[in-house]
Amino acid sequence: MAKCDEGYLCSICGGDVENITQSDLYLRYVTGMIDPELLHAEPERHIRCNPTLAQFIVAEDFEAIHVEGDFDKSQLDQAHVRQRESLITRGWNRLKEIRSLGEVSILEFPLPEAIEKFKNRATSMPSPDVTSE
């Protein structure tokens, strides 16, 4: 794993996505937004280069991102925003965990609820959004 989480270029700014904790692609994967089969077909980006998603990371060690305009999370439904913040922040923490663990199978990267979602997807119709309780 350690070899393939490095060396990808960001499709927005062209810079190196140096490790998994900067990867928008893997953030979306661990939170169940990208199917495992599509992981290698999607462009890589820095988390910070995708502010509409990055704004949902709420953590002391992540400098908060503010989005101008219609996608500013303060313009969105607050119940939805809280759900999103919970999921995306846990996803980001998961990336840090994966990085510190080192040898984790890529299939074990996603959060438990994302793994469930992928399983369900294989047997039923895709759900339009992240599942909630």
Residue ranges in contact with Zn ion by CB under 5 A: 10, 12-13, 46, 49
Least CB distance to Zn ion at residue 16 (A) = 9
The secondary structure of residue 40, as a DSSP letter, is T
- Pick between residue 49 and residue 114 the one whose CB is nearest to Zn ion: 49
Least CB distance to Zn ion at residue 113 (A) = 28
Q: Is 14 exposed, middle or buried (0-12, 13-18, 19+ CB in 10 A)?
A: exposed
Residue 120 CA to residue 74 CA, distance in Å, equals: 32
- Pick between residue 9 and residue 59 the one whose CB is nearest to Zn ion: 9
Which strand (E) or helix (H) includes residue 9?
strand 8-9
- Pick between residue 23 and residue 114 the one whose CB is nearest to Zn ion: 23
